């Protein structure tokens, strides 16, 4: 059966997350339903990572197996037609080897988190950002972020329901920058690692926002990390500003 890699963009607000749910809409369910319109199902697709309810994607990657040998462009167009009106778009389709796997072949994931820092309520970006009604100290947040980079036991920043075998992960990048967005000033968090614990990025951002607001010092972030205690974490921020931005592979299946 031919295997295809899919690059997927979606808005997370209408969904209970990526993973198929019995009684709730999911991104996986929407794509599998579209595939069933093209070939008799059932279809089961695998993704590079499972995003939570309300989390978005700019470059999620999944793979599917088909019976027919589809030309990638035609499969891309057909899926987008049948996905309407769901806020899910297939950006690219590529034929891959039979043993290629969207999750297990990946070597890194990159997330973006957006905070909109203005007092007036968001309109165009409603549901796409976490809105904080005050300016944040980006320099202080970056100083706190630097204490998290590297290989650590991230128990403090791990959800209680996380199913990962170990809390030890290597964080390759956590960059905080001020950006002038369409709706006003934003703070962006660019986070990159091979893999993440459940709620790890949202725990980072919620904690660093406390630093930016002046409630925590940058050194408090290092102390929280060293505590290896979930109760030492700052508030976990809401999901709507989080985007799975990119998934990296040894060879980009969509490069050609």
Considering only CA atoms, which of 245, 235, 238 is closest in space to residue 192?
A: 245
Burial string for 76-101 (b: 16+ CB within 10 Å, else e) reads: bebbeebbeebbbbbbbbbbbeeebe
Q: How far apart are CA 38 and CA 131, in angstroms?
A: 40
> Is 137 an active-site residue?
no
Retrieve residue 84's tokens.
Answer: 């309407």
Which residues face 115 on adjacent strands? 130, 187
Run of H or E residues at 223:
helix 218-227
Q: How far apart are CA 101 and CA 105, in angstroms?
A: 5
Task: Determine contact, residues 145/204, Cβ cutoff 8 Å.
Answer: yes
Residue that the structure tokens 């993973």 belong to: 19
The residue annotated as part of the active site, out of 52, 153, 172, 220, is: 52
What does each C-alpha distance from 116 to 43, 129, 183, 215 come to in angstroms?
Answer: 39, 6, 8, 19
Which residues face 93 on adjacent strands? 6
* Residues designated catalytic: 52
């Amino acid at each position: 059966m031919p295997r295809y890699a899919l690059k997927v963009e979606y808005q997370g607000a209408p969904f209970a997350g990526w993973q198929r749910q019995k009684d709730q809409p999911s991104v996986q369910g929407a794509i599998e339903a579209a595939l069933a319109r093209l070939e008799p199902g059932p279809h089961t697709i695998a993704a590079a990572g499972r995003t939570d309810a309300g989390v978005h994607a700019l470059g999620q990657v999944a793979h599917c197996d088909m019976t027919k040998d589809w030309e990638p462009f035609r499969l891309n167009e057909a899926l987008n037609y049948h996905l309407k009106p769901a806020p899910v778009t297939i950006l690219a389709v590529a034929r891959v080897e039979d043993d290629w796997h969207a999750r297990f072949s990946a070597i890194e994931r990159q997330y973006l988190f957006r905070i909109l820092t203005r007092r007036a309520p968001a309109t165009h970006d409603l549901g796409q950002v976490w809105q904080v009604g005050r300016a944040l100290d980006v320099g202080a947040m970056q100083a706190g972020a630097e204490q998290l980079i590297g290989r650590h036991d991230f128990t403090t920043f791990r959800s209680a329901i996380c199913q990962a075998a170990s809390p030890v992960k290597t964080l390759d990048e956590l960059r905080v920058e001020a950006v002038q967005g369409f709706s006003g000033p934003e703070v962006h968090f660019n986070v990159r690692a091979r893999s993440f614990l459940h709620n790890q990025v949202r725990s980072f951002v919620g904690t660093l926002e406390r630093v930016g607001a002046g409630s925590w010092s940058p050194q408090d972030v290092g102390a929280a990390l060293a505590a290896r205690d979930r109760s030492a974490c700052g508030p976990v921020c809401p999901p709507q500003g989080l985007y799975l931005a990119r998934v990296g592979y040894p060879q980009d299946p969509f490069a050609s």
